[in-house]
Amino acid sequence: MSASDFDEEAVGRARRRVVDKITELIGNTPLVRLRSFERGLPGIEIWAKCEFMNPGGSVKDRAAYQMIADAVAAGRLDPAKEIIDSTSGNTGIAYSLIGGALGFKVTLVMPGNVSWARRKISEAFGTRLVFSSPMEGSDGAINLCRKLVDESPDRYFYPNQYGNEANPEGHYQGTGREIWEQTGGRVTHFVAGIGTSGTVMGTSRRLKAYSKDVKCYAAEPDEALHGLEGLKHMASSIVPGIYHPEELDGVLPISTEAAWDVCEQLSREEGILVGHSSGAAVAGAVRIGRELVKEGKPGVIVTVFPDRADRYFEAPVTTQAGPTEEPR
């Protein structure tokens, strides 16, 4: 069967997914409606952008690629230098994939309690891992990474995802534009969790550039000691230099329990298995939906699924009694 046997539009769709490098598949992720979360919310639509469908498996592919591409274009990164950054996992996997595709060595500084899956995925790309104290979380990894860079400045290129404006720029150019186009400009509210803050800042700026009426919110853990890996409780953390809360319409504190409950509902009622940061974002979207219903207003609320739940799986440990879950 030849191409002429297909209609021209179908051939065009197929060709759009033919690429020279894996990095060209970053972005243009699908949007899915979450109807089970709209129950009891008349006039409200809740949608999620499936960022786990990026080639590296997370939303961080966008920021990592933008930071690396900008550095190469500016002459700050060449194959003689090694990429190094601190990460709780997803950005590190993105660096690892992009480094493999473009020919750069990568070193990652991770908290010692980062998930087994993220460690193994990063190592599979040939990435070198350095672990910071698990008790210090992402801030400990940031501090150790800075120390390594200070000790060997000529060896490393340090993108500094927490302070690099190319991070939100990746979402300004991609995520925000795509959401506007996918909703036909109907989006009224946007919610995203805070890690580096690149996703919520860059996407919000783009949506507000289209329409100042779009309301944008960050979702964060409601306390310092929380179980939402990848998210930051800003009051108790090193605040990223790229985070500018004054540009947002509010910050939504989300409990660990609420986020975990949402993840369970997503898997059982939507068939979507995602990480707990996704649960926090959807919990925030539902909260906004309830407020709109109280006010008698409709809404098209969009959020982001940063990654899949398999990023958080732990390897079983074999004992005399048989396989058991590895203690954390």
CATH of the domain at 67: 3.40.50.1100
Instruction: Give residues with Cβ within 8 angstroms of 203, minimum separation 6.
Output: 171, 172, 175, 176, 179, 190, 192, 216, 304
In a domain, 249, yes or no: yes
| Same-domain check for residues 88 and 211 | no
In a domain, 328, yes or no: no
| Same-domain check for residues 23 and 137 | no
In a domain, 85, yes or no: yes
| Same-domain check for residues 114 and 249 | no
| Same-domain check for residues 140 and 74 | yes
Domain endpoint, select from 157, 178, 207: 157
| Same-domain check for residues 48 and 91 | no
Q: What is the pLDDT of residue 128?
A: 97
Q: What is the pLDDT of residue 325?
A: 38
In a domain, 323, yes or no: no
Total domains, the chain: 2
pTM (two decimals): 0.89
Nearest of 77, 85, 122, 119 to residue 102 by alpha carbon? 77
In a domain, 108, yes or no: yes
Q: What are φ and ψ of residue 190, in 5° steps?
A: -135, 140
Q: What is the pLDDT of residue 10?
A: 55
Nearest of 86, 135, 126 to residue 110 by alpha carbon? 86
From the list 96, 197, 237, 277, the catalytic residue is 277
Q: What is the pLDDT of residue 16?
A: 64
- Please name every residue paired with 106 in a beta bridge, in sequence order, or none if there are none: 83
| Same-domain check for residues 96 and 243 | no
In a domain, 74, yes or no: yes
| Same-domain check for residues 42 and 173 | yes
Q: Which amino acid is at 291?
A: E
From the list 60, 105, 215, 232, the catalytic residue is 60
Q: Containing domain of residue 119, as a range? A: 60-157
Is 215 catalytic? The answer is no
Residues 194 and 259: beta-carbon distance below 8 Å: no
Exposed e or buried b per residue across 245-266, where buried means at least 16 C-beta atoms within 10 angstroms of its C-beta: beebeeebbbbbebbbebbebb
Residue 249: DSSP 8-state: S
Nearest of 261, 307, 230 to residue 36 by alpha carbon? 261
Q: What is the pLDDT of residue 86?
A: 94
| Same-domain check for residues 95 and 194 | no
* Mean pLDDT per 10-residue segment, the chain (328 residues): 53 67 96 98 98 97 98 96 92 96 96 88 95 90 96 96 97 98 98 96 98 98 91 92 97 97 97 96 98 98 96 67 39
For residue 318, give the H/E element and its range: strand 316-319
Q: What are φ and ψ of residue 7, in 5° steps?
A: -70, 155
| Same-domain check for residues 32 and 66 | no
In a domain, 48, yes or no: yes
In a domain, 9, yes or no: no
Q: What are φ and ψ of residue 98, in 5° steps?
A: -70, -40
Q: At what angle do helices 60-73 and 166-173 cross, to 10 degrees?
A: 110
| Same-domain check for residues 73 and 213 | no
Domain endpoint, select from 95, 122, 157: 157
| Same-domain check for residues 116 and 212 | no
| Burial of residue 54 (number of CB atoms within 10 Å: 0-12, 13-18, 19+) | buried
Is 60 catalytic? The answer is yes
Any alpha helices (H) in the chain, and if so which ranges?
A: 8-15, 60-73, 90-102, 116-124, 137-151, 166-173, 175-182, 198-210, 256-265, 276-294
Q: What is the pLDDT of residue 323?
A: 41
| Same-domain check for residues 199 and 223 | yes
Q: What is the pLDDT of residue 3?
A: 45
Domain endpoint, select from 157, 179, 194: 157
- How is residue 190 written in tokens? 């946007």
